[in-house]
Amino acid sequence: MEHSLKALQEKALKEIAGANDIDALETVEIQYMGRAAGELTAILKNLKDVPAAERPRTGALANEIKQDIEAQILERREALLAREENESVFDVTESYVPRRESGTLHPTTQIQYELEDFFAAMGFRIIDGPELESDFYNFSALNIAPDHPARDMQDTLYIKDHPTWLMRTQTSSVQVRAMREYGAPLQAIASGRCFRNEATDARHEHTFHQLEGFVVGEDVSFAHLKGILDAVARHLYGEDTQVRLRPKYYPFVEPGVNGEVTCSFCAGGGCALCKQTGWLEIFGAGLIHPHVLKEGGLDSKKVSGLAFGFGLTRLAMLKYGINDIRLFMSADMQFLKQF
Ligand SMILES: [Zn+2]
């Protein structure tokens, strides 16, 4: 009995070591350890036929061999699994197709592109201006003198050691640059990032997007301004949209207006978004102030101009019902994947 046990152990260990994959190892395991017909199982079952005097010694040996075979199977299985894993990492014959997640345009960019297309179709030139701007183009040229209170409302980030440089607070900074470069007649839009020194909350952010539009030429009037704004409002919110203009002071226009459209969520009936007024404020506009035309190198006796500005970030908030402006600059993938 002892002899056949040792012979079996030797044979089993040899076959375990020779098993070259998991399937082969399982076959070996069943052959020796299988409940129904395993060779070692059969010997253990027959222990009762061993003479009583030898039984404890033979039993102990059989158990020792069983544990040895089990341990060897376990070890071999781990080695085979590790080898499979390594092979799958280093399989140079496998063709490599990189996984690429396709992104989408940021909601602000989508609205910007949509409006650029719209204005381009109306014959507007699409221009650009620097985000790091001079005090002159951002404020002084726009009739905002150094001691003007509007500077308090548009506090921004200034550049150390360069007292006349700042991060632009509005896309209106492009107006005088464009007049100097292109002269009149000119109709153009400029959109992009603007910056303010804000204590941020759900409605205020240090970085946001605006779109500025302006027209200069002979006999440019308030009627042109109203016509353009009506067209934009209908484009954005539908044919039935009404525009309401109410006087508002901006240093760089005279007269200036605050533009509202009928609330697209309640169709003017009143809701939480429009604070029950039925109107949504979406832009500021007016006829360009003679001072601004003069800084742009134009003769305000011969040409006049109109200007209007939209908060692109605000338009995106209204379009998608976003209630916290901070989400736009948060790089939150859960937020961005929705657009
Ligand atoms: Zn409403």
Query: Ligand 1 centre and the CA of 273: distance in Å?
Result: 5
The CATH class that applies to domain 107-336 reads: alpha beta
Exposed/middle/buried for residue 244 (C-beta within 10 Å: 0-12, 13-18, 19+): middle
Q: Is the Cβ–Cβ distance between 336 and 315 less than 8 Å?
A: no
Q: How far is the CA of 311 from the centre of ligand 1 (A)?
A: 19
Q: What's the 237 CA to ligand 1 centre distance in angstroms?
A: 13
Q: Is the pTM of this model over 0.85?
A: no
For residue 309, how far is its CA from the centre of ligand 1 (angstroms)? Answer: 22
Q: Residue 292: CB partners within 8 Å, gap ≥ 6?
A: 141, 142, 143, 175, 176, 252, 305
Going from the Cα of 81 to the center of ligand 1, the distance in angstroms, rounded, reads 64
CA of 269 to the centre of ligand 1 (A): 6
257 CA from centroid of ligand 1 (Å): 21
> 324: CA distance to ligand 1 center in Å?
18
Residue 1 CB contacts under 8 Å (≥ 6 apart), including other chains: 43, 50, 54, 58
For each successive 10 residues of the chain (339 residues), what is the average pLDDT? 85 90 90 85 81 85 89 91 75 71 88 96 96 94 88 86 92 96 96 92 89 97 96 92 94 95 87 89 96 96 96 88 88 88
268, exposed or middle or buried, with CB in 10 Å at 0-12, 13-18, 19+? middle
pLDDT of residue 89: 63
Residue 88: its pLDDT value, please? 66
Q: Beta-carbon neighbour count of residue 161 at 10 Å? A: 6
Question: How many Å lie between the centroid of ligand 1 and the Cα of residue 278?
Answer: 5
How much is the pLDDT for 90? 63
Rounded CA-CA distance 293/274 in Å is 35
Q: Is the peptide bond before 149 cis (omega within 30 degrees of 0)?
A: no
pLDDT, residue 251, reads 93
Q: For residue 143, how far is its CA from the centre of ligand 1 (angstroms)? A: 35
Q: Ligand 1 centroid to 307 CA: how many Å?
A: 27
Distance (Å) from CA 280 to ligand 1 centroid: 7
DSSP letter at 257 equals E
What's the CA-to-centroid distance between 238 and ligand 1, angstroms? 15
Report the separation in Å between the CA atom of 262 and the middle of ligand 1, taken as the mean of its atom positions. 8
Q: How far is the CA of 171 from the centre of ligand 1 (A)?
A: 28
What residue spans in the chain does CATH classification 3.30.930.10 cover?
107-336
Distance 271 CA to ligand 1 centre (A): 4
According to the model, what pLDDT value does residue 119 have? 97
Q: Ligand 1 center to residue 281 CA distance, Å?
A: 11
How much distance in Å is there from the Cα of 320 to the middle of ligand 1?
14
**289 DSSP assignment:** P
Say how many Å lie between the CA of residue 66 and the centre of ligand 1. Answer: 80
264: CA distance to ligand 1 center in Å?
A: 7
Distance 68 CA to ligand 1 centre (A): 79
Residue 184 DSSP class = S
Residue 195, beta-bridge partner list: 207
* Distance from residue 231's CA to the centre of ligand 1 (Å): 20
Cα(67) to centroid(ligand 1), Å = 78
Eight-state DSSP code of residue 139: T
- Dihedral in degrees, nearest 10, Cα atoms 308, 310, 311, 315: 170
